[in-house]
Amino acid sequence: DAKTTQPTSMDCAEGRAANLPCNHSTISGNEYVYWYRQIHSQGPQYIIHGLKNNETNEMASLIITEDRKSSTLILPHATLRDTAVYYCIVNLDNNDMRFGAGTRLTVKP
């Protein structure tokens, strides 16, 4: 069972920041927060992961609250190609990743 709660769907205007929330109130101290996305008819793609500190890479930023009970994935300048299902996963490592239903993000022109 997924340990996270995400909105079912979200819309974002092209060029604007997309902020995708995730609740993980039962996260344990050594569990990481992972984000993957799945564009239609493709396999999931890794985006970013973090433990306590905020993380940034070329794709996105991950903001984790101080109590670690929630996080936000930020796509700074969303494009139409960012339309996908985004999965937030809490796990000790990359074994046995438990995907929930995710958030369907639609980027609109």
Partner 1 sequence: DAGVTQSPTHLIKTRGQQVTLRCSPKSGHDTVSWYQQALGQGPQFIFQYYEEEERQRGNFPDRFSGHQFPNYSSELNVNALLLGDSALYLCASSRGRGHTGELFFGEGSRLTVL
x/- contact string, 66-105, with partner 1 (CB under 8 A)? Answer: -------------------x-x----xxxxxxxxxxx---
Phi-psi region of 108 (alpha: psi -120 to 50; beta: other; left: phi over 0): beta
What token pair was written down for 93? 């490592």
3-state secondary structure of 82: helix
Per-residue x/- mask for partner 1, residues 28 to 67, rule CB under 8 A? ----x---x----xxxxxx--x------------------
Decide: 97 and 46 in contact? Cβ < 8 Å: no
- CB nearer partner 1, residue 17 or residue 46: 46
CB of 11 to partner 1, least distance (A): 19
Question: Least distance in Å: CB of 72 to partner 1?
Answer: 19
Distances in Å between the Cα of 55 and the Cα atoms of 8, 40, 60 are 24, 26, 8
Residues that bind partner 1 (CB under 8 A): 2, 32, 36, 41-46, 49, 85, 87, 92-102
